[in-house]
Every structure is written in C-alpha cells, then in structure tokens.
C-alpha cells in the first residue's frame, strides 16, 4: 500500500524536462575517477623520460657519416653536474638582482630610499652581470665528457650551455691540436683543447678528471708522458 502511495505522489515529468534530464551526463562515480591517474602512472612506467620532463642533450648538427658510428667515452669529469647547477643558480641570482632595480628607482623617486642605497643596489646588479658573463664564458667551455668514434676521426665534446644544460659539439680529430704541439701542461689545473681552425676552445682538467681510455686519448692529444 505504501509503495503505491509513493508512486502516486511522484510528480510527473513533462516531455521538455524529461529530455533535459536525459541530456545531462551522469557522474562516472569514484571507481572511474582513478582511471586517468592510473593511465598516467602506467605511461610513466613504460616511458619515464617522457613524463619526468628530462630532455635529450642538445647537440649541434652531426657531421655526415657519424649517425651510425659508435662513440667510446675516453674522458669524464664527474663534477660537471655541480657546475651545471651552479650556472643555473647564478642565472637566477642575477635575474633577481636586476629585477630589483626598477622598484629601487621608484622608491628613490618617492623618497623611500637614499641615493647611497640606490647606488649600492646598482653596483651589486652590475657586479652580478659581470660575474655571470665571466662564469658563463668559462662554464660553456668546460669539458664534462669526451668521446671518440671507433675509427678515431671524430671527437665529441659534452659541455654546458648558458643555462647549465648539456650540449655536444663535434670536432674532427685532424683539427685538434695535440698537447705535445702546444704550450699546455697536464700538471696545470686546466688545459685548453684548441683547434687549428680556431673555431672553439675548450677547457679540461686532468688533475680532477678521469681518463677512461688512455689509448684513444693519446691518439687525439698525444703522449702525456712527454710532459713529465
């Protein structure tokens, strides 16, 4: 009896309202809410580099004929990653220092800052810019890893960019000046990698770096025993 009364008390829904209710999508429910996250985790498990955001190292245009060749690591400087973080930190610090100058000028115009404080802020910003230029000039030429192809004709140099990321540059071995023909000494903290064409100069440290393949390294830079 009560069931019949409940049915009779239900309000009748007209055709327009019924069509509207049919058009409203139903909620998928809690069971379906986890499906997008589940798919994301599954994708991250299949290809973690795609979701983590790590990008492949930027490299200049490869010379023809090196796409299929295998490169062997001959030198490695383990602290290059720390220099990359330091370069990014220096860029961020310089940006914050320069951005603080316009508010300082406004406060000085309003009488909220003295002229000496404004000059101090400008000097700090100028010093930060000068240090950024000097550090970037050095960090972009600091060698992290050296590779040589199997035929021994191409040298691949892994170094840093202005933003502290990895970049690879290819140099023909025939264009690299051996250390036996230059005035560089392996006992020094940094030695230069120069080219006959004068395109670009790199710096590597034999004191703190590791030579992994001495034979291939010698084929490119000459015998290190001659410097002793």
Q: Are 147 and 212 members of one domain?
A: yes
Q: Are 112 and 159 members of one domain?
A: no
Q: Are 119 and 215 members of one domain?
A: no
* One pLDDT digit (tens) per residue for the chain, 228 residues: 444 444 444 445 455 444 444 544 444 444 444 443 333 333 333 333 332 334 455 555 666 656 677 899 999 999 999 999 999 999 998 999 889 888 888 898 888 888 998 899 899 989 998 999 999 899 999 999 999 998 889 999 999 999 989 999 999 999 999 888 887 777 788 999 999 988 889 999 998 999 999 999 999 988 765 544
Q: Determine the Cα–Cα distance for residues 23 and 38; give it in Å rounded to an integer.
A: 29
10 inside domain: no
pLDDT at residue 84, rounded to an integer: 92
pLDDT at residue 179, rounded to an integer: 85
Q: Are 148 and 63 members of one domain?
A: yes
Q: Are 123 and 147 members of one domain?
A: no
pLDDT at residue 228, rounded to an integer: 44
pLDDT at residue 146, rounded to an integer: 95
Residue that the structure tokens 């001495």 belong to:
214
Sheet holding 71-76, edge to edge: 58-59, 166-172, 154-160, 143-149, 71-76, 210-211
25 inside domain: no
Q: Are 101 and 121 members of one domain?
A: yes
Q: Are 115 and 164 members of one domain?
A: no
Q: Are 98 and 185 members of one domain?
A: no
pLDDT at residue 110, rounded to an integer: 86
How many structural domains compose the chain?
Answer: 2
Q: Are 217 and 148 members of one domain?
A: yes
19 inside domain: no
The domain of 62 spans: 58-77+143-222
pLDDT at residue 49, rounded to an integer: 35
Neighbours of 225 (CB within 10 A): 8
Q: Are 150 and 211 members of one domain?
A: yes
Q: Are 105 and 175 members of one domain?
A: no
Instruction: Look up the pTM and report it.
Output: 0.65
34 inside domain: no
Helix axes 115-139, 101-109, angle to 10 degrees: 170
pLDDT at residue 54, rounded to an integer: 42
Residue that the structure tokens 């599954």 belong to:
42
């Amino acid at each position: 009896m009560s069931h019949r009364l409940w049915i009779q008390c239900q309000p009748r829904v007209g055709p327009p309202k019924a069509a509207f209710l049919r058009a409203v999508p139903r909620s998928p429910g809690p069971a379906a809410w986890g499906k997008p996250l589940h798919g994301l985790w599954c994708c991250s498990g299949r290809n973690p580099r795609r979701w983590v955001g790590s990008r492949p190292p930027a490299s200049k245009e490869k010379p023809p004929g090196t796409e299929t060749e295998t490169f062997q690591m001959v030198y490695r400087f383990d602290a290059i990653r720390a220099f990359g973080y330091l370069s990014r930190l220096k860029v961020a610090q310089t940006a914050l220092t320069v951005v603080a100058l316009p508010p300082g000028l406004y406060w000085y115009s309003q009488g909220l800052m003295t002229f000496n404080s404004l000059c101090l802020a400008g000097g700090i910003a100028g010093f930060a810019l000068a240090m950024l230029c000097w550090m970037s000039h050095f960090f972009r030429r600091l060698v992290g890893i050296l590779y040589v192809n199997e035929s021994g004709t191409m040298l691949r140099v892994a170094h840093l960019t202005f933003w502290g990321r990895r970049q690879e540059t290819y140099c023909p071995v025939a264009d690299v000046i051996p250390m036996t023909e230059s005035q560089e000494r392996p006992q020094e903290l940094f030695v230069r990698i120069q080219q006959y064409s004068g395109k670009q100069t790199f710096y590597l440290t034999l004191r703190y770096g590791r030579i992994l393949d001495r034979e291939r390294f010698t084929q490119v830079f000459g015998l290190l025993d001659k410097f002793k």
